[in-house]
Structure 1
Amino acid sequence: MCGIVAALAARNVQGILLEGLKRLEYRGYDSAGLAVLNADGELRRQRAVGKVAALEEKLAQGALSGHIGIAHTRWATHGKPFEVNAHPHVAGDAAGGCLAVVHNGIIENFEPLKRELEADGVVFESETDTEVVAHLIERAFGETGDLLAAVQTTLARIDGAYALAVMHAEAPREIVGARKGSPLVVGVGIDESFIASDALALLQVTDRFIYLQEGDVVRLSDGRGIEIFAAGERIERSTHTYEHGDAAASRGEYRHFMLKEIHEQPAVIAATLEGRLSGSRVLESSFGVGAKTLFARVEQVHIIACGTSYHAGMVARYWLEKLAGLPTQVEVASEYRYRDVVVPKNTLFVTLSQSGETADTLAALRYAKTLDYLGALAICNVPGSSLTRESDFALMTQAGPEIGVASTKAFTTQLVGLLMLTLSLRQTRGDACEAALVQALRELPATLDRALEMDAPIAELSEAFAEKHHALFLGRGTQFPIALEGALKLKEISYIHAEAYPAGELKHGPLALVDADMPVIAVAPNDELLEKLKSNLQEVRARGGQLFVFADEGVALGSADELRVLHVPRIDEILAPILYTLPLQLLSYHVAVLKGTDVDQPRNLAKSVTVE
């Protein structure tokens, strides 16, 4: 994976493909490439490691000209980020190949298919799973002479998640695309058509799109136009007009980047899940080749991180022990390497970082590699970062650029990544995931959209904090780390001193702070600890404290002058930490705006902490 662009036009498509790749750079990637069919019907390809600018520089020295082409930005999953592993991949006997393919996703059964092809004499030039697809389609095309039929035959043989775009020198005015578990859109132009993994890549050429559904296959061709097939039958899909498409580095309609990034969370969480769920399970290959074998040996987990990422790790401890039955330790990276660490047998080392360049986390990883860990896994937002390069395995979140210093969407995508890790470890231990939980995970983006509708009432509630200097956050179970994260956000951007405690600890000290001038914020999902939490809240009310509670819509807490309740959409309790993060982010944001602080660049803080 990461980005796909394809074009069939009456003009040279090189510029269209390059611009499309540039518009997909926000996703993160480590190489880029494109292929076109020239006027002589020859397939020509150019690839480069690094940024799209490196590819553009190569093309400046030798441009590719043609009216049909495909392009790709890649984040390495199968094979290191070398040019030989970059997309497009080709197959066929002609010099440079006859067929070219680009692919997002993971082909789970590529190894037996590769052995089968090698037994037939196919020689592979890359380490990727995608090249297997190229050779399978080429072999099927040799039998049928029809590109659409060849793709459909191949799809019946592959397992996993994919979005594909394919072209062939012997079908010179035709592109075939397909999707399963990874998005693909068709751009509708005037006498020209396009395919991309994201509509943003094509806004330069069209604002009309057909969003392919799971299992769809599409053929773009001269004469026949755009044809879509499902289960082998021709069908129709609606065309939609794209009405807004701000660049990732622009605030667009939002006052601050932080607010924009809070509202982007449903989309980036959907992108993080993209291509990584199949049926009622998580694809272990999402974590890299060999991850499933490694996961089967894991008996303990150590999670190391800093700041917000540390809070994500704290939530994951509850998940890993409850769902996967794995003892888990979570530690602040800046402390980890300054003690004598005892590593239990078969322990997986997990690091979390938005940038992948956090100095303390990198130092902890390097120290861990001198110890007897089973392996090192990074969950990170930046492909090609030091953390991902130096780890044995990596799961890339798809948060896109996060410009606000106070992390929002990077945190929630880390939580999604950690839950996928938990479910993968559960699966490899022989316990099937609950189908209802996986379905709730699929529905999470829509639930988060509903939570964002709380923006206006939270803005109103924030006025109660404008003159405050201290705040106390409470949570129980998985919500305690979310309370910690809420307190961190408030102090980061509003400069209000905030602390968080497990609600059951109130009587062990924090109650001494509670009075009418100390706002107390609590998160109250409808879980097994709800009744305990209600008792803790009564302790606050009895001492004249002012309570602000974010509660499940099915929880009745009453209302009074000292108690204000905002209801949060109902959700599976496992996913509640992700959902309840959003209202706390919105609260911190609106309080900071009222106090007039620099929301996106708070004093004394940096986005990527690259010093110890």
Structure 2
Amino acid sequence: MCGIVGAVAQRNIVPVLIEGLRRLEYRGYDSCGVAVLANGEPKRARSVARVADLDDQVRETRLEGATGIAHTRWATHGAPVTDNAHPIFSRNELALVHNGIIENYESLREMLRGKGYEFVSQTDTEVIAHLVHSLYRGDLFAAVREATAQLHGAYAIAVLHKNQPHTVVGARQGSPLVVGLGEGENFLASDALALAGSTDRFIFLEEGDVCELTLEKVRVFDRDGNPADREVRQVAAYGGAVELGPYRHFMQKEIFEQPRAITDTIPQADSFDASLFGENAQKAFSEIDSLLILACGTSYYSGLTAKYWLESVAKIPTQVEIASEYRYRDSVPNPKALVVVISQSGETADTLAALKHAQSLGHKHTLSVCNVGTSAMVRLTELSFLTHAGREIGVASTKAFTTQLVALFVLAMTLGKMRGHVSAAQEADYIRQLRHLPAALNSVLALEPQIIAWSEEFSRKENALFLGRGLHYPIALEGALKLKEISYIHAEAYPAGELKHGPLALVTEAMPVVTVAPNDALLEKLKSNIQEVRARGGQLYVFADADTKIVNDEGIHVIRMPEHYGLLSPILHVVPLQLLAYHTACSRGTDVDKPRNLAKSVTVE
């Protein structure tokens, strides 16, 4: 989502700020801007196009300065127009950028209007800028500390003032912010990735921290106003350009990177050992009696899939909740439950808030499944399992999802083994199946030409149904989500047995029905559901295992999967659904990698 980059240096810092924004582009945004102190005055350039357009503006106007801040904005308060783009100025003396949402901005705005401040944007951010300005008495650090004490909501901010030309002040609450340490220069960013190439030494600010960056030093105060000694961590944040190679879009590239990503994620060990999740995992796992999985979007569907594994193999009760719902309802906490949070970025606002809420209710044991080892989520949990999907540029998640499934399968097998439900022979068989997954996925990817043919039909539709049963119902949900996200076709997913309880009323020749049909214990039930659709004139598109005996016929179109893969079948069956969504979106001419209204990393509620 929104991105922040800031710097204090003895050189023109604008190229560093622009490059930082480029590295954060994949997260999604609809405007961008940069501000510097130039000849003692704040100057800025803003754009509602891409960072490349902002770069052109900067070059044309020769915008230069040694102290600056920059931002990519995903609109919340106010439309994506230039007046709402960051940096926001206050009386042409102060510039500020902001990620997050200020919940009490309306009352603060009225108070500031009473002090004579005029508002030219529709943003909640302008409230922060004017508030800090109103409190400024020659010490920007003190003004920001005083201002943030009045803010309710989530924020990460970076601020500069004309009267302190070699200072940038930052603060965070509920939104990530990191300090980058250099030699005679210092940096601020919402993600270490933005500063790759400028520094590899970082301070990850904690909740409520306020920091001051000058040329020679950085100081940090905690939420209570006390000096804070934060750990300096060395992180090799890869910042090189990610090339498309022979692929049309990053999403297609990332779909085809899944065999490699899964290979990198599968543990090298020959056993499912608790140590894979951290040094305290053995003790923690021995003390739990259930699991509570918290996640959003695609990660939520990986949790739903894991529930089947955890309960069928590990025989451990498992609850899966949408993080944003869990936080705001009255729940009955079980301190003996292991809380598992799942996120690609590890900065998903709703999931982080749900994790903290669970901890406040007395949940002691927590585990994160995440793709970013330096993320807030990994730092907040007792245990963790890092996926190795690599950078995922496309907004619609693909390889992050399948690597999450691998991580959760390893968790289920580990708990099953510890609880005496996975024998040594079964363990060896499951490890063999895991290691064969990349080869099996390559066979599934070879189905792309057949899926392209289907996508031509789908591109002319406006609605679709997805059906699955048991372990594959969450995969149907994920397939429907992918189609919605990038092709803008309305799609819904149901357990196939629910057809006659309402959705069957929607079935006509104009409604394609996509069915995930593995050869499992529910196959015959699923075949009956297929006949229900066929009897109503519906058009069925079935991804069927080779030995299901489901064949092409009038109203039934079948693509055969290369092999049945038992408990790991969901990881194979989701891939053709990703390809179907991708090629349908291509046929419709949508912006596949940056679908409208969506951001890669959701860092606000």
Judge same fold: TM > 0.5, yes or no.
yes
Alignment-derived partner of residue 470 in structure 1: 463
What are the Cα deviations for residues 564-607 of structure 1, in whole angstroms up to 9, with x where unaligned?
Answer: 00011213320011110000000000000000000000000000
Find 2:516's aligned residue among 508, 518, 523: 523
> How far apart, CA to CA, are the structure 1 residues paired with 2:523 and 2:589?
36
Q: Is the contact between residue 371 and residue 400 of structure 2 (CA under 8 Å) also seen in structure 1?
A: yes
Alignment-derived partner of residue 315 in structure 2: 325
Matched, 1:312 2:302: yes
> How far apart, CA to CA, are the structure 2 residues paired with 1:442 and 1:464?
36
Q: Give secondary structure in 2 for the equivalent of 1:282.
A: coil
Q: Is the contact between residue 201 and residue 235 of structure 2 (CA under 8 Å) also seen in structure 1?
A: no
Matched to 2:199, the amino acid is A
Matched to 2:257, the amino acid is E
> How far apart, CA to CA, are the structure 1 residues paired with 2:290 and 2:249?
41
> How far apart, CA to CA, are the structure 1 residues paired with 2:356 and 2:550?
49
What are the Cα deviations for residues 257-290 of structure 1, in whole angstroms up to 9, with x where unaligned?
Answer: 0000000000000000143x31xx2232111111
Matched, 1:284 2:284: no
Q: Give secondary structure in 2 for the equivalent of 1:478.
A: helix
Matched to 1:317, the amino acid is K
> How far apart, CA to CA, are the structure 2 residues paired with 1:375 and 1:336?
17
> How far apart, CA to CA, are the structure 2 residues paired with 1:552 and 1:248?
39
Please give the residue correspondences for 1:97-176 in structure 2 after superposition, counting only pairs within 5 Å.
none
Alignment-derived partner of residue 564 in structure 1: 557
1:431 shift after superposition: 3.3
Q: CA RMSD in A?
A: 2.5
Pair 258,85 (structure 1): closer, same or farther in 2 beyond 3 Å: closer
Alignment-derived partner of residue 448 in structure 1: 441
Alignment-derived partner of residue 296 in structure 1: 286
Q: Give secondary structure in 1 for the equivalent of 2:547.
A: coil
Matched to 2:526, the amino acid is L
Matched, 1:356 2:346: yes
Find 1:255's aligned residue among 248, 255, 267: 248
Pair 564,384 (structure 1): closer, same or farther in 2 beyond 3 Å: same
> How far apart, CA to CA, are the structure 2 residues paired with 1:283 and 1:249?
34
Alignment-derived partner of residue 385 in structure 2: 395
Alignment-derived partner of residue 573 in structure 2: 580
Please give the residue correspondences for 1:123-272 in structure 2 after superposition, counting only pairs within 5 Å.
249-272=242-265
What are the Cα deviations for residues 287-309 of structure 1, in whole angstroms up to 9, with x where unaligned?
Answer: 11111111112210000000000
Q: Is the contact between residue 301 and residue 478 of structure 2 (CA under 8 Å) also seen in structure 1?
A: yes
Alignment-derived partner of residue 223 in structure 2: none
Could you tell me the TM-score, scaled by structure 2's length?
Answer: 0.61
Q: Give secondary structure in 1 for the equivalent of 2:294.
A: strand
1:336 shift after superposition: 0.4
> How far apart, CA to CA, are the structure 1 residues paired with 2:396 and 2:445?
18
Alignment-derived partner of residue 555 in structure 1: 548
Alignment-derived partner of residue 405 in structure 2: 415
Pair 542,388 (structure 1): closer, same or farther in 2 beyond 3 Å: same
1:85 shift after superposition: 9.6
Matched, 1:339 2:484: no
Pair 311,86 (structure 1): closer, same or farther in 2 beyond 3 Å: closer
Pair 584,248 (structure 1): closer, same or farther in 2 beyond 3 Å: farther
Alignment-derived partner of residue 369 in structure 1: 359
Range with bigger deviation, 476-485 or 266-275? 266-275
> How far apart, CA to CA, are the structure 2 residues paired with 1:342 and 1:369?
13
Alignment-derived partner of residue 104 in structure 1: none
> How far apart, CA to CA, are the structure 1 residues paired with 2:397 and 2:327?
25
Alignment-derived partner of residue 491 in structure 2: 498
> How far apart, CA to CA, are the structure 2 residues paired with 1:463 and 1:553?
24
Runs of 4+ in 1 over 2 A off after TM superposition: 50-57, 81-87, 430-433
> How far apart, CA to CA, are the structure 2 residues paired with 1:85 and 1:300?
36
What are the Cα deviations for residues 530-564 of structure 1, in whole angstroms up to 9, with x where unaligned?
Answer: 00000000000000000000000112112223110
Pair 52,426 (structure 1): closer, same or farther in 2 beyond 3 Å: farther
Q: Give secondary structure in 1 for the equivalent of 2:199.
A: helix
> How far apart, CA to CA, are the structure 1 residues paired with 2:551 and 2:295?
39
Count, aligned residues: 384
Pair 390,52 (structure 1): closer, same or farther in 2 beyond 3 Å: farther
Q: Give secondary structure in 2 for the equivalent of 1:296.
A: helix
Find 1:603's aligned residue among 573, 596, 600: 596
Q: Give secondary structure in 2 for the equivalent of 1:564.
A: strand
> How far apart, CA to CA, are the structure 2 residues paired with 1:415 and 1:570?
19
> How far apart, CA to CA, are the structure 2 residues paired with 1:86 and 1:532?
52
> How far apart, CA to CA, are the structure 2 residues paired with 1:561 and 1:258?
33
Q: Is the contact between residue 201 and residue 234 of structure 2 (CA under 8 Å) also seen in structure 1?
A: no
Alignment-derived partner of residue 199 in structure 2: 54
Q: Give secondary structure in 1 for the equivalent of 2:454.
A: helix
> How far apart, CA to CA, are the structure 2 residues paired with 1:548 and 1:430?
41
Pair 284,51 (structure 1): closer, same or farther in 2 beyond 3 Å: farther
Matched to 1:296, the amino acid is S
Matched to 1:346, the amino acid is K
Pair 338,551 (structure 1): closer, same or farther in 2 beyond 3 Å: same
Please give the residue correspondences for 1:66-77 in structure 2 after superposition, counting only pairs within 5 Å.
none
Pair 344,83 (structure 1): closer, same or farther in 2 beyond 3 Å: closer
Q: Give secondary structure in 2 for the equivalent of 1:348.
A: strand
Q: Is the contact between residue 337 and residue 363 of structure 1 (CA under 8 Å) also seen in structure 2?
A: yes
Q: Give secondary structure in 2 for the equivalent of 1:369.
A: helix
Q: Give secondary structure in 2 for the equivalent of 1:303.
A: strand
Matched to 1:312, the amino acid is S
Matched to 1:588, the amino acid is A
Give the gaps of 5 or more residues in structure 1.
1-25, 31-49, 58-80, 88-200, 202-246
Alignment-derived partner of residue 502 in structure 2: 509
Q: Is the contact between residue 387 and residue 403 of structure 2 (CA under 8 Å) also seen in structure 1?
A: yes
Q: Is the contact between residue 299 and residue 345 of structure 1 (CA under 8 Å) also seen in structure 2?
A: no
Q: Is the contact between residue 323 and residue 423 of structure 1 (CA under 8 Å) also seen in structure 2?
A: yes
Q: Give secondary structure in 2 for the equivalent of 1:538.
A: helix
1:424 shift after superposition: 1.1
1:83 shift after superposition: 7.0
Give the gaps of 5 or more residues in structure 2.
1-25, 27-177, 179-194, 203-229
Q: Is the contact between residue 437 and residue 572 of structure 1 (CA under 8 Å) also seen in structure 2?
A: no
> How far apart, CA to CA, are the structure 1 residues paired with 2:353 and 2:201?
35
Matched to 1:54, the amino acid is T
1:394 shift after superposition: 1.0
> How far apart, CA to CA, are the structure 1 residues paired with 2:320 and 2:362?
17
Pair 543,395 (structure 1): closer, same or farther in 2 beyond 3 Å: same
Please give the residue correspondences for 1:18-33 in structure 2 after superposition, counting only pairs within 5 Å.
none
Q: Is the contact between residue 248 and residue 401 of structure 1 (CA under 8 Å) also seen in structure 2?
A: no
What are the Cα deviations for residues 181-207 of structure 1, in whole angstroms up to 9, with x where unaligned?
Answer: xxxxxxxxxxxxxxxxxxxx9xxxxxx
Pair 292,53 (structure 1): closer, same or farther in 2 beyond 3 Å: farther
Q: Give secondary structure in 2 for the equivalent of 1:406.
A: coil
Alignment-derived partner of residue 69 in structure 1: none
> How far apart, CA to CA, are the structure 2 residues paired with 1:527 and 1:438?
20
1:372 shift after superposition: 2.3
Matched, 1:480 2:470: no
Alignment-derived partner of residue 41 in structure 2: none
1:500 shift after superposition: 0.3
Q: Is the contact between residue 298 and residue 374 of structure 1 (CA under 8 Å) also seen in structure 2?
A: no
Pair 274,374 (structure 1): closer, same or farther in 2 beyond 3 Å: same
Q: Give secondary structure in 2 for the equivalent of 1:54.
A: coil
